[in-house]
Chains A and B, each alone.
Chain A
């Protein structure tokens, strides 16, 4: 079975992290974002994943060779020469997706993190027997998104409404689709939108069904949502595979610490924290609601909350980092400094406190 992951874009909203790596390779819960999706697809029976990319293909390909070997799944790239929108890439990758077997294929949006109930999605798709299935998720403020108006009993999709002014429904497109091969015939090789052109056409023919996503859903394309997403993700791990979470006197709530990280005595870590491989957390450090990426070093008595510490960064002693601070790769913060929402570009040395949210180049 095949799958297409729409990677696209420059990931500018996740800067400064995406100044060092393309977005799909930025770590989330201690592994590259795209690995979460590739693993979920493999588990659902997919044996070939196509990545639709248009930026830094060389960097992506190097990582992919690694994953291919480790996961035992075939990974290829389909490179857009110009932006193809959200549907165009399917037409571009037609030869890889449509193999004549008539099997449906998955399409995933790479910015999204969720529980990926893909086996259930396949079962639902088979049961209604129509052309396309789309995963939807319930949100509090639907008018920020494109709303999918559907029959709650059958799941039949009636129409799409982009950013509705009045309440028409609270289910939005979750960015996970299961499509029959003939859907690709509808898509011309030009910049095309799934939501605006293709899905409405399929819905009009009563061939589009929606399944409500059980569990959490988050678009982690920007730092604020990344941190919320981590909380939801760790909650879901607590329910499904709690053995993956860390335990100990120094842990409170849901925390994932990579086995190769070193934690000093007297630390208090959690809730909702991910500490990546080879990190060094010295004694007396407090971490809450934050991500510490691979190779970062946090020296004694520091306190980090609600922030993202980029790869190989170094925080001095007694530093206090909070309120959506995002440190890019290899940022050094001197002893005793304070950062309130600083957004710091890679390789920068911070020598004075950042008192209010600002970008530091």
Chain B
């Protein structure tokens, strides 16, 4: 098979605004896929991973956010990457497989041999080149990225049983109550175009079943029977689970880091993971101590337009966005500083997300009770030391335009936009 005929299309599922409220308060200001991790929008990390694939013809983002949320981003990115990046809006949520199916004509337009499907809120190393080689070797309908985790963690995800020699997927169980396997579904897939036939089959079967059962109008209204709706089809439960054990699907295991970004606390950890990855993939993005800027410790990203005072100490695991100003004697550890933030002398920020245009006064202190050590191995919040950063008040989040006055201490709080804090607060949500 000649290389030229092996075209690849990538599809990234980005979800929509009403799908979940767990990413609030950050999702009140920005669409979750565009929230920056390690200095780049969340969705950009999988996009850049796809770009490394040879013969990548097109990248599609599928979701149900308004078009205008992604319009500027996709056109700028298409120009920069020289690969068309396009956002496709579902008219209503169709489930992960339903969304793919709705746009099958576009996806298959350039006759791709392989279709990469990624969930936008997955943070991992995206080993797509090796996974694609494995997928082509196995010649199946699909290959799923899996990772071995501890049994307690596994029960929160889809568990897969795979043949240790061939990698064939033998069994799939979504969030099982009892132990099935310690291999979890990472939400990264490579499919052959056959997948659309599989989805079509499920759709028809559902439709026939509904007709056969002659649903009463009462049953049809029940939202509990949502799964019976021919329109809402989930990739994992409805398409992949029945195909397990039929020599159609394969599992490709990764040893690298993996997280699912469900709540803001996890985004801090993922920002740290991506910063760590820059050491090998994009070392030029990592900041270094020099005479003009602050002292840098560990992995730090500083946008070129941000200004940092030489007496400030930044890092490890800090990401600073455009036009931020970090004053003298400031200490930043494990935090995300968004655009236009101003931090005055001697302020301290630890394990927090500081929202766009916010300002911290002199000797202000924004932090958590127990500082996290982000170099732990287990995903999703289980690690040694510190509090649980996945809980609602696990980290401190300041929304857009929040002003923290001089000497005020803010610990494990969520502060919504445009508030001014003139007294210290602990473990509170401030609307």
Contact = CB atoms under 8 A, between A and B. Distances in A.
B21 A10 contact: no
B19 to A, nearest CB: 11
A10 B417 contact: yes
Interface in B390-431: 392, 414, 416-419, 429, 431
17 contacts: A10-B417, A12-B416, A12-B417, A12-B418, A12-B431, A16-B431, A19-B28, A345-B21, A345-B28, A347-B18, A347-B21, A359-B431, A361-B21, A361-B24, A361-B25, A361-B392, A361-B414
B429 A10 contact: no
A16 B431 CA distance: 7
Interface in B347-378: none
A15 B418 CA distance: 12
B30 to A, nearest CB: 15
Interface string B225-241: 00000000000000000
Given A347-B18, A359-B431, 13 more contacts: A12-B417, A12-B419, A15-B416, A19-B28, A343-B431, A345-B24, A347-B21, A348-B21, A359-B429, A361-B21, A361-B24, A361-B392, A361-B429
A10 B18 contact: no
Ranked nearest first, the 5 interchain pairs of A and B with the lowest CB-CB distance are A15-B431, A10-B418, A361-B24, A359-B429, A12-B419
Interface string B8-48: 00000000001001001100100000000000000000000
Interface string A1-29: 00000000010100110010000000000
Interface residues of B, number: 13
Contacts of A345: 21, 24, 28
Dominant SS among interface residues on chain A: loop
Contacts of B419: 12
* Residue with the greatest number of chain B CB neighbours at <10 A, chosen from A15, A16, A361: A361
Contacts of B392: 361
A15 B419 CA distance: 11
Nearest to A328: B431
Contacts of A15: 416, 431
A354 to B, nearest CB: 13
B24 to A, nearest CB: 4
A361 B27 CA distance: 11
Contacts of A10: 417-418
A85 to B, nearest CB: 15
A361 B23 CA distance: 9
B263 to A, nearest CB: 10
Contacts of B21: 345, 347-348, 361
Interface of B: 18, 21, 24-25, 28, 392, 414, 416-419, 429, 431
Contacts of A12: 416-419, 431
Contacts of A343: 431
Interface string A323-360: 00000000000000000000101011000000000010
Nearest to B18: A347
Contacts of B25: 361
Nearest to B392: A361
Contacts of B28: 19, 345
A10 B414 CA distance: 17
A359 B415 CA distance: 12
A311 to B, nearest CB: 16
A322 to B, nearest CB: 20
Contacts of B416: 12, 15
A361 B264 CA distance: 12
Interface string A132-147: 0000000000000000
A110 B74 CA distance: 42
A304 B149 CA distance: 47
B410 to A, nearest CB: 16
A15 B392 CA distance: 19
A343 B392 CA distance: 15
A359 B392 CA distance: 11
A359 B419 CA distance: 16
* Residue with the greatest number of chain B CB neighbours at <10 A, chosen from A16, A348, A359: A359
Contacts of B24: 345, 361
A109 B388 CA distance: 45
A105 B12 CA distance: 59
A246 to B, nearest CB: 32
A289 B18 CA distance: 31
* Residue with the greatest number of chain B CB neighbours at <10 A, chosen from A343, A345, A348: A345
A361 B419 CA distance: 17
A343 B419 CA distance: 17
A146 B18 CA distance: 44
A228 to B, nearest CB: 20
Contacts of A347: 18, 21
Nearest to B417: A10
A359 B413 CA distance: 12
* Residue with the greatest number of chain A CB neighbours at <10 A, chosen from B419, B429, B431: B431
A83 to B, nearest CB: 11
Contacts of B18: 347
A10 B415 CA distance: 14
Nearest to A55: B418
Contacts of A348: 21
A331 to B, nearest CB: 11
A16 B430 CA distance: 11
A19 B29 CA distance: 11
B271 to A, nearest CB: 21
Nearest to B22: A361
A361 B416 CA distance: 11
Contacts of B429: 359, 361
Nearest to B419: A12
Nearest to B17: A347
B394 to A, nearest CB: 13
Contacts of A16: 431
Nearest to A349: B21
A218 to B, nearest CB: 21
Contacts of B418: 10, 12
A347 B21 CA distance: 8
A343 B25 CA distance: 14
Nearest to A347: B18
Contacts of B431: 12, 15-16, 343, 359
Contacts of A19: 28
A11 B124 CA distance: 40
A10 B418 CA distance: 7
A361 B18 CA distance: 13
A307 to B, nearest CB: 16
A335 to B, nearest CB: 13
B231 to A, nearest CB: 20
A286 to B, nearest CB: 27
A16 B24 CA distance: 13
A343 B18 CA distance: 19
B11 to A, nearest CB: 27
Contacts of B414: 361
A110 to B, nearest CB: 17
A343 B430 CA distance: 11
B400 to A, nearest CB: 10
A345 B21 CA distance: 9
B70 to A, nearest CB: 20
